[in-house]
C-alpha cells in the first residue's frame, strides 16, 4: 500500500467565538474513533509547546494585524511539522479545533489583512496539506454575544477576540460563510442555534458519512 493510500482524514472545526465548537469536540472524537482509526485531537492556535506559547501572546496581546497573521502561521508550521503531518502519515485521523479557515475569517474578514498575503503564507506553510472536511458551527453574532456574556458573568475572562465588537463577529461570520460557499464539498454548515442534542445528531451523521 502506498503512503498516500493509508493517509488519515483531517477534520477541522470552525465558527465565530461562542458558536459552541468546544462543546462537541469530545463527542466528535469518540464518534471518529468508532470508525476504527486512532484520533488525534488538537487545536489552533496551539497544539505544540511553542504553539501554545504563541497562543497566549495572540489571545492576550494587542498587535499589528500582519504580526498576528505571521504568528498564527508560525504556530501552524510547528503544528503541521510536529503533530498533524506525522499523524496523517501514520494513518491516524486528526480532529483540529480551528485551522487556516480561521485566519481567512479573523485576520482576513475581521481585520482586513490582504488575501494575497494569507494565500502566500498558506501555500508556504501548508506544503500541500489541507483539511478533508470542515464543520462550520454557524450562528448569528447576537446569539454568540449572549453566550459570551453569560460565560463572563460566570467568571470566565474573555480573550482579545471574544471582546471584539459584534460588527467584527459579523465580518468573521460572513468570511466563513463565503469560504463554505466556495468549497461546498469540504464544508458542512451546522446551525448552532439548535439544542446540543440536535446538533449532536447531525454531527454523528456527518462523521458516519466520512
Ligand atoms: P478558540 O477560542 O476557539 O480556542 O480560538 C482562539 C481564538 O483565536 C479565536 O478567537 C479565533 C482566533 N484565531 C485567529 O484569529 N486566527 C487563527 O488563525 C486561529 C486559528 C484562531
Could you tell me if residue 156 is inside a domain?
yes
pLDDT at 6: 82
| Residue 163 in grid coordinates | 471582546
pLDDT digits (tens, 9 = 90+) for 121-134: 999 999 999 999 99
Is residue 17 in contact with ligand 1, taking CB distance under 6 Å? yes
- CA atoms of 138 and 15, how far apart (whole Å): 6
Q: Is the pLDDT of residue 5 over 70?
A: no
Mutate to test the pocket of ligand 1, among 23, 44, 54, 157 (most ligand atoms within 8 A of CB): 44
Is the alpha carbon torsion for 43, 159, 194, 191 positive or negative? negative
Question: Does a structural domain hold residue 124?
Answer: yes
Indicate which CATH number applies to the domain containing 69.
Answer: 3.40.50.300
Any domain includes 67: yes
Separation of CA 198 and ligand 1 centre (Å): 25
The rounded Å distance from CA 58 to ligand 1 centre is 9
The atom number, within ligand 1, closest to the CA of 58 reads 8
Predicted pLDDT of residue 2 = 44
Q: Which residue has the cell 490582504?
A: 114
Mutate to test the pocket of ligand 1, among 67, 95, 98 (most ligand atoms within 8 A of CB): 98
Strands (E), the chain: 10-15, 39-43, 93-97, 133-138, 187-191
In a domain, 123, yes or no: yes
DSSP state of 19: S
Kindly state if the Cβ of 27 falls inside 6 Å of ligand 1: no
170: in domain: yes
For residue 51, the enclosing domain spans 10-208
Over 50: is that where the pLDDT of 15 sits?
Answer: yes
The residue with cell 463527542 is 27
CA 91, CA 70: separation in Å to the nearest integer? 30
Assigned domain for 183 exists: yes
1 lies in some domain: no
Q: Is residue 5 part of a domain?
A: no
Instruction: Please write the tens of the pLDDT for every residue from 80-127.
Output: 999 999 999 999 999 999 999 999 999 999 999 999 999 999 999 999
Q: Torsion over CA of 104, 160, 53 and 111, rounded to 10 degrees?
A: 30
Structurally, how many domains does the chain consist of? 1
Q: How many CB atoms lie within 10 A of CB 136?
A: 24
Amino acid at each position: 500500500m502506498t503512503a498516500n493510500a493509508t493517509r488519515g482524514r483531517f477534520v477541522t472545526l470552525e465558527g465565530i467565538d461562542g458558536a459552541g465548537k468546544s462543546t462537541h469536540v469530545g463527542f466528535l472524537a469518540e464518534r471518529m474513533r468508532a470508525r476504527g482509526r486512532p484520533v488525534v485531537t488538537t487545536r489552533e492556535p496551539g497544539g505544540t509547546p511553542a504553539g501554545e506559547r504563541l497562543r497566549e501572546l495572540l489571545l492576550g496581546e494587542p498587535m499589528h494585524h500582519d504580526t498576528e497573521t505571521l504568528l498564527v502561521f508560525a504556530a501552524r508550521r510547528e503544528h503541521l511539522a510536529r503533530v498533524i503531518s506525522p499523524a496523517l502519515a501514520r494513518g491516524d485521523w486528526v480532529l483540529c479545533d480551528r485551522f487556516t479557515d480561521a485566519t481567512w475569517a479573523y485576520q482576513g474578514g475581521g481585520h482586513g489583512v490582504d488575501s494575497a498575503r494569507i494565500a502566500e503564507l498558506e501555500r508556504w506553510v501548508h506544503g500541500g496539506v489541507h483539511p478533508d472536511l470542515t464543520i462550520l458551527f454557524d450562528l448569528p453574532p447576537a446569539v454568540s454575544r449572549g453566550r459570551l456574556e453569560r460565560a463572563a458573568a460566570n467568571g470566565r475572562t474573555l480573550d482579545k477576540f471574544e471582546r471584539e465588537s459584534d460588527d467584527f463577529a459579523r465580518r468573521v461570520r460572513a468570511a466563513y460563510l463565503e469560504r463554505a460557499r466556495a468549497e461546498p464539498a469540504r464544508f458542512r454548515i451546522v446551525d448552532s442555534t439548535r439544542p446540543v442534542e440536535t446538533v449532536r445528531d447531525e454531527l454523528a451523521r456527518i462523521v458516519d458519512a466520512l
